[in-house]
Amino acid sequence: MNVIYTDNNATTKVADEVIEEMMPYFGELYGNPSSMHTFGDQVGKKVKQARQRVADLINADPDEIVFTSCGTESDNSAIYAAINAFPERKHIITSNVEHPAIKNLFSHLAKKEGYEVTFVPVDKKGQLNTKVLYESMSENTAIISLMWANNETGVIFPIEEVAQKAREKGIVFHTDAVQATGKLDIDVKKTGVDMLSLSGHKIHAPKGIGVLYIKKGFKFTPYLIGGHQEDGRRGGTENTAFIIGLGKACELAKNNLELMNTEVKELRDYLQSQLLEKIAGTTVNGVIDNRLPNTLSIGFDAVEGESILLLLDREGICASSGSACTSGSLDPSHVLVAMEVPFKSAHGTIRFSLSHYNTKDEMDHIITAMVPIIEKLRLMSPFWKDGKMV
């Protein structure tokens, strides 16, 4: 059976061009980029090129790029660097819809290290309550960390505006741009963020490689203390093949950005409009006109998301549900709860997240599959009667 993959916010296919670029560095070109000999140095040159390619994608300087093992490590490194830079400040700010890489770290810092945390709420459309955010900022605030775009709904936060407010108050500003990278035009110079995280496996590079952008001049302390690698900002011999692959993926992402915001967005909009038209009791989660171009979080009243996923899986269609699947429960995710999505619709939420590898035929296949799936599940649902939710 052919797989229709619409779970690209979870992870992406590694691009053929990326695999090709990486292959020699698993085999004959195994030198250490820090070595003095030519054999190692030729790998070093390729790592340098990769650093430049990453920098080009986000309009950074290459020496502002630090390679890490993943988005989670980048997030952790950024937050610890900020609190180390301002040890006397005991207040930290984030939103209540962050990825666990930030959300759980902030909860940990509150519980184990005595930090006061403001979890800024969002409204019913997933938009940040900036009034609460700005009122909570004080001289005691060490860092504000906000995701550029939400992994479940795709809702985009006003990063440039918040970065400016943070700068005015002398507060470090970090953004988790793991989902925004390759989907939005990211310009760290224009935005003025202090630190930014991105992750390879969301942009067609392998899992297990990430980046932390650190603005020049920021007093950064390493999270992984060790050798002199990454200019003393992250110990550990470089994962050369993956770094080189990520460099290629960034180059491709830059070239594909327009495609993402035209053709991929059109496919997402087509899938959305067809599902809304063909299936009653259906709601899109998140603000319609300020979302990632590839993401559709859509709730079907009176059915279980997990049951939808199971039936989609039988058709070879991969998507995600809006449940807190990592906890093994069927409760709606913290993002949908924060948005106060009604319980019976939150339960039936599915996230489709597309890439430029998807086609219109695939969207038609999903639409054709979804109509009888929802019909069938509603026949069994105690919450659905006479064509509506009870």
Kindly list the residues in this chain that would bind ligand PLP in the complex (CB under 6 A). 70-72, 99, 101, 147, 151, 176, 178-179, 199, 201, 210
Cβ 78 to ligand PLP shortest distance, Å: 11
Q: How far apart are CA 142 and CA 83, in angstroms?
A: 6
Cβ 224 to ligand PLP shortest distance, Å: 15
Q: How far apart are CA 265 and CA 256, in angstroms?
A: 12
Q: How far apart are CA 295 and CA 205, in angstroms?
A: 19
Known catalytic membership, residue 325: yes
Active-site residue (options: 70, 250, 318, 325): 325
β-pairing verdict for 282-284 and 210-214: unpaired
Residue closer to ligand PLP by CB (options 271, 292) is 292
Closest CA to 133 of 161, 111, 170, 100: 161
DSSP 28-71: T----TT-SSHHHHHHHHHHHHHHHHHHHHHT--GGGEEEESSH
Q: How far apart are CA 261 and CA 281, in angstroms?
A: 28
Cβ 141 to ligand PLP shortest distance, Å: 22
Q: How far apart are CA 194 and CA 162, in angstroms?
A: 12
Residue closer to ligand PLP by CB (options 100, 121) is 100
Residue closer to ligand PLP by CB (options 147, 363) is 147
Name the residue whose CB lies closest to ligand PLP.
Answer: 71
The angle subtended at Cα 87 by Cα 85 and Cα 93, nearest 5°, is: 85
Cβ 248 to ligand PLP shortest distance, Å: 17
Cβ 297 to ligand PLP shortest distance, Å: 13
Q: 158: how many CB neighbours lie within 10 A of its CB?
A: 15
Tokens of 236: 């550990």
Measured CA distances, 51 to 83, 230, 250 (Å): 26, 10, 10
Closest CA to 282 of 379, 338, 336, 349: 349
Cβ 100 to ligand PLP shortest distance, Å: 8
Residue closer to ligand PLP by CB (options 24, 208) is 208
Residue closer to ligand PLP by CB (options 53, 202) is 202
Number of helices (H) and strands (E), helices first, in the chain?
A: 14, 15
- The residue whose two tokens read 């296919």 is 13
Residue closer to ligand PLP by CB (options 184, 275) is 184
Provide the annotated active-site residues.
325
